[in-house]
Amino acid sequence: MNFLKRFFEKKDYPEYWVDYAAYFESKTKSGDFVVFDCETTGLKPHIDRILSIGAISIKNQRIKINESLEIYVDQTYFDAKSASIHGITQENELSKSTEEEAIKSFLKYIENHTLVGHHVSFDIAMINQALKRMQLPKLKNKSIDTNQLYLKKRGVPLEQRYSLDELCDVFSIPKKDRHTASGDAFLTAQIFIRLYNE
């Protein structure tokens, strides 16, 4: 009986999660996209932590640079090997948010838009692990992976994996600000627009 009571009890979630979840109760679905990327301390979502989140909106097939999001997160876990790739160290004089503040801002930004990323399942897993630490459910948004979209559009075997660098080369996109979350999100957005219009 106690199990049934717990099952039907409504959990007391924070207001920002309630606001986020409310977007998915509406019958009006967003046709817009949010392209995002996370820089992390490593590649193991259960162990590693998010260092920064970069996100950019696409509305009516236009990249909205002036509506982008860039957040740096206080480091509670440090990995020197990954720091040599993204350049984010504990000593960086950047304005940083707590993990909860960063996720709160991210949820407010993405609303119910479809999320786009390169190998996006990793970035979603990192966000979901942060949500789990905050005792919140997983992201509700649909997602599109630019690697998988490229494979489908070009008829390439679906097990093939292309790096972001390789797809930038395919589309002759300059790799400016590579290995920053906001820079990689912008590169991915450009790739997505090209693929979307093929």
pLDDT of 31: 77
Q: Tell whether 2 is covered by a domain.
A: no
| CATH number for position 106 | 3.30.420.10
Element (H, E) at 143: strand 143-145
pLDDT of 7: 43
* pTM for the model: 0.86
Task: Please give the DSSP secondary-structure letter assigned to residue 27.
Answer: S
Q: Tell whether 25 is covered by a domain.
A: no
Mean pLDDT per segment of 10 residues, for the chain of length 198 residues?
A: 44 92 79 94 91 95 94 74 49 74 97 97 98 97 97 90 95 88 96 94
Report d(CA 25, CA 18) in Å as an integer.
Answer: 11
pLDDT of 111: 95
Q: Tell whether 9 is covered by a domain.
A: no
Taking the CB of residue 60, how many other CB atoms lie within 10 A of it? 7
pLDDT of 43: 86
Q: Tell whether 10 is covered by a domain.
A: no
Report d(CA 191, CA 183) in Å as an integer.
Answer: 13
Domain count, the chain: 1
Residue 61 in contact with residue 142, Cβ under 8 Å? no
Q: Tell whether 106 is covered by a domain.
A: yes
- What is the residue range of 62's domain? 33-196
Q: Tell whether 119 is covered by a domain.
A: yes
Q: Tell whether 24 is covered by a domain.
A: no
Report d(CA 54, CA 102) in Å as an integer.
Answer: 11
Maximum Cα–Cα distance across the chain: 62
Q: Tell whether 88 is covered by a domain.
A: yes
